Amino acid sequence: MAGLIVRRFFQLILLLIGISFLVFTSMYIAPGDPAAIIAGPTATKSDIDAIREDLGLNDPFLVQYVRYISGVLHGDLGYSYQTKQPVWEAIMTRFPNTLNLAIASIMVAVIIGVVAGIISAIRQNSWLDVSSTVFALAGISIPNFWLGTVLILIFAVNLQILPVGGLDHPFYTVEGMKQLILPAITLGTGSAAMIARMSRSSMLEVIRADFIRTARAKGLKERTVIWVHALRNAMIPVITVIGLNFGFLLGGTIITEQVFAINGVGRLMVQAIAARDFPMVQGSVLLVATLFVLVNLIVDIIYVFIDPRISYD
């Protein structure tokens, strides 16, 4: 296990250097001049030149990259071109919001997805199974911006039982939870659908296995057979899907953050890209990549607990 963690750690560093180079290069060659955007439409050539010099944008590509990466290796993600705020600080003020939203959404997704998946597996081809399939299809197909806007119109504007948007109360307060409900449902539905499909197919495979027949033959209660013996064995692929989804959610959930006015990392990244705020884009991408790798590592570790046959030694 320790070997796995150490190996992954070194892989992570290499991965991040690779990613930073890719992002840096793509931002460098992408059209759009950060200085011109900062200066605004009314700026003259001298205004823009002064800003470009100030940001060090006149230096050759490699000089800029080496300067950046050596900063990163010393723990300095640099400063935003636009707001002059330290990148680390800007990300960290927003990350808790993204994290709260991701956790709430994955909870919604897991509860709905796993339950729906199992029920449709044990009641295969019943009307419950069919409606669960329809739900899954709808969950995957409905775009978040539409679902979010509709939920706002119903629950915030019409019924007035939940706030329209924002996330400015701590998640453990009643206000905070109320603010999380609609975005979590909006965001969780897609993942719930995927988890439901995966749970269903995995469960179908397992309940036909010999050991389940043995368990039933031994006279165990059906509830014990399904929720203890079958579920645990069906969970491996489901956990992979949950892990992947959670990784994506942590990467900032641009559209949901936009619709619900949540000040998260996804929105920060979009604004930074539009403003060609290179250090901010780099910083957020590195964070997202790190989180993604970490989540996958955790998933790999969970496998061992769920299925003792798996070992990394």
Partner 1 sequence: MKKKHFFSMLVFLFMISAVLAGCGGKSASNSGGSSSQGKGNAAQELTYATTSDVVGLSPILTNDSVSAAVINQIYETLFVRDPKTMEIVPHLAESYETPDDKTWVIKLKKGIKFHDGTDFNAEAVKYTFDKLRDPKTAAPRASLLEPVESVEVKDDYTVVIKTKYPYGPMLAALCHTNAAIVSPTADQKQDLMKQPVGTGPFKFVEWVPGDHITLEKNEQYWQGAPKLNKVTIKVVPEVTTAISMLQTGDVQFIDNVPAEQLSRLQSMKNVDLIKKEGTPVYYLGFNMKKAPMNELAFRQAVSYAINKEEYVKQLKGLGIQSNSVIGPKVFGYNEASENVAYSYDPEKAKQLIKENGYKGVKVKMLVANTANYMKMAEVVQAQLKEAGINAEIESMEWGTFLDAVKQGKYDLTFLGWANSTADGSELLYPNFHSDNVGTSNRIFYSNPAFDKLVEESRTNIDPEVRKQKLKEANEFLLKDAAVVVMNHGVVTAAVDKSVKGLEIDPTGQWSLYHVYRE
Binder of partner 1 out of 40, 60, 219, 308 (CB under 8 A): 40
Q: Residue 147: CB partners within 8 Å, gap ≥ 6?
A: 185, 186, 189
Site string for partner 1, 92-131 (x = CB under 8 A): -xx-----------------x--xx--x--------x--x
Task: Give CA–CA dist 68/25, Å, rounded.
Answer: 12
- 51 near partner 1 (CB under 8 A): yes
Chain residues 149-188 in contact with partner 1, contact rule CB under 8 A? 149-154, 156-158, 160, 163-166, 168
Write the CA distances from 160 to 140, 155, 197, 288, integer angstroms. 27, 6, 34, 35
Binder of partner 1 out of 9, 22, 33, 137 (CB under 8 A): 33
- At closest approach, how far in Å is the CB of 255 from partner 1? 9
What residue spans of the chain are helical by DSSP H?
A: 2-29, 34-39, 45-55, 61-73, 87-122, 127-141, 144-151, 174-207, 210-217, 222-224, 231-250, 254-259, 265-274, 278-306
Task: Give CA–CA dist 261/259, Å, rounded.
Answer: 6
Binder of partner 1 out of 16, 37, 238, 287 (CB under 8 A): 37
Q: Give the three-class secondary structure for 221.
A: coil
Binder of partner 1 out of 12, 15, 19, 36 (CB under 8 A): 36
Q: How many CA atoms lie within 13 A of 300 on its CB side?
A: 16
Binder of partner 1 out of 260, 278, 292, 303 (CB under 8 A): 260
Task: Give CA–CA dist 242/220, Å, rounded.
Answer: 30
Contact between 227 and 199 (Cβ < 8 Å) = no
Token duo for residue 198: 């995966």
Q: Which is nearer to partner 1, 168 or 208 (CB)?
A: 168
Q: Which is nearer to partner 1, 182 or 249 (CB)?
A: 182
- At closest approach, how far in Å is the CB of 32 from partner 1? 3
Contact between 276 and 33 (Cβ < 8 Å) = yes
Q: Which is nearer to partner 1, 280 or 295 (CB)?
A: 280
- At closest approach, how far in Å is the CB of 310 from partner 1? 30
The residue count for binding partner 1 (CB under 8 A) is 62
Residues that bind partner 1 in the complex, under the rule CB under 8 A: 30-33, 36-48, 50-51, 53-54, 82-85, 90, 93-94, 112, 115-116, 119, 128, 131-132, 135, 149-154, 156-158, 160, 163-166, 168, 258-261, 263, 267-268, 271, 274-276
